[in-house]
Amino acid sequence: MGLKVELKPGERLILGECLVTNGDQRTRLLIEGQAAILREKEIMTPELADTPAKRIYLALQIMYTSRDPRAHHDTYFTLTRELVEAVPSAWPYIDAIGNHIITGSMYKALKSAKALIAYEKELLDHASRSQDLRRGREAHRQSA
């Protein structure tokens, strides 16, 4: 059973080690076999990866699309270790990602990494909100 992918005009897709760009009409593809498949909207670039969890996603993506994933394990583990040390409650997410990698389903690992990014966003939003509050309070105190 293959994977069905529908592409919008001009939409791009990574298929194995190639970049596929759709022409000027909608296309429906049926892909069979073993190859890394990434839709355009799922792709993270080094420029976009500006938070620890997004970097983990990028590292996973490199592992997923590379011929020898082992070469990138070091980077991946440096990143996850740093994250787990800073945010121990991210442990279950990292665990889920790791489990998918061990069982060889890299695409599912990427999906779990997406959940990790969402969790990180919650924490970051929370942190910046409380910083704003603190700053606001200090400003208030100074003006008083």
Partner 1 sequence: MSDIVLSAGVRSNLLQLQQTSDLITQTQNRLATGKRVNSALDNPINYFTAQNLSGRANDLNSLLDSMSTAINTIQAANNGITAITKLVQSAQSIVTQAQQTTDPTIRATLSSQFDSIRGQIDQLAQDSGINGINLLNGDTLTVTMNETATSTVAVAGVTDLSNSALAINGATNNWAGAVDITAASTQLTAALTTLRSQSQALSSNLQTVQVRQDFTKAMINTLQTGADNLTLADSNEEGANLLALQTRQQLSTTALSLAAQADQNVLRLFQ
Closest to 18 measured CA to CA, from 31, 2, 9: 31
Number of residues that bind partner 1 (CB under 8 A): 60
Q: Which of 52, 106, 113, 116 binds partner 1 (CB under 8 A)?
A: 52
Contact indicator for 57, 44 with CB cutoff of 8 Å: yes
- Residue 8 engages partner 1 in binding (rule: CB under 8 A): no
- Residue 49 engages partner 1 in binding (rule: CB under 8 A): yes
Q: Any idea what the Cα angle at residue 110 is, between residues 88 and 81, rounded to 5°?
A: 30
Q: Which helix (H) or strand (E) holds 76?
A: helix 73-86
Contact residues: partner 1, CB under 8 A = 12, 14, 16-19, 43, 45-47, 49-52, 55, 58-59, 61-62, 65-66, 69-70, 72-73, 75, 77-92, 94-95, 98-99, 101-105, 120, 122-124, 126-130
